[in-house]
Every structure is written in C-alpha cells, then in structure tokens.
Amino acid sequence: MEGKVKFDFKSKMWTGETAGSWYFMSLPSEISKEIRANFQWQEEGWGRMKVVAKIKDLEWKTSIWFDSKLDIYVLPIKAEIRKRAEIKLNEVLDVCVWI
C-alpha cells in the first residue's frame, strides 16, 4: 500500500451480546491513540475513517470506527469477509490496516 501508513496488530473477532449484532476486531489502545492523534482530521461522521484492511490473505477497503465508550477504534468484519477469510469468533489473528 504505497504512500499509506501501516499499522500491524493482533486481535480477536468479537460480537455484541444481542442477536444479529455486528462483528468487530479491536485496534489496540496504543495504536488507536496514535491514529487519533495523527489522523483524526480524516474522520467522517460518527468517528468513521476509511482504511484498507488485511486479514490472512484477504485485503479490502473498509472503515474503522472510533468507539468513545471503549476509547479505541474497531474494525467491523462483514459476513462476506468472515466467510472468505474463514474467521471464527474469538480467533486471534494478525491484522493490518493502512490509513
């Protein structure tokens, strides 16, 4: 990803407690603070920031969202991505995001 800033981290996929909840991977607190300090100006409504994400061999354009309750960014993982990358709930994976 030429010309972009890369952040590597490990995270596990989690979901909310209600049926039909979204699935997410959390960015670590330190990385979230660094992103917020340097790139908050790129946020769109509701703390959304466009990124390119990569898990396993799958790379896609998406967004991260700032969760003010958790004070971190979260990466939503859509059903199509979960299926294509064969990601399982609570599985710890290497994740990359480019901003």
SS3 state at 47: helix
The CA–CA distances, whole Å, from 79 to 22, 46, 83 equal: 9, 22, 6
Mean pLDDT along residues 72-88: 95
Query: Dihedral angle at the C-alpha atoms of 58, 78, 94, 91, nearest 10 degrees?
Result: -120
Structure letter (DSSP) for residue 88: -
How far is Cα 39 from Cα 14, in angstroms, rounded to an integer? Answer: 25
97: which 2 tokens?
A: 């995001």
> In angstroms, how far is the first alpha carbon of the chain from the final one?
9
Fold entry, domain 6-98: Elongation Factor Tu (Ef-tu); domain 3 (2.40.30)
Length of the chain measured in residues: 99
Please report the pLDDT score of residue 3 as a whole number.
Answer: 52
Q: How do the domains of the chain map onto residue ranges?
A: 6-98
- Label the pairing between strands 48-55 and 23-26: unpaired
Mean pLDDT along residues 23-27: 96
pLDDT at 58 exceeding the cut of 90: yes
Mean pLDDT along residues 10-36: 91
Range of lowest pLDDT (2-11, 55-64, 83-92): 2-11
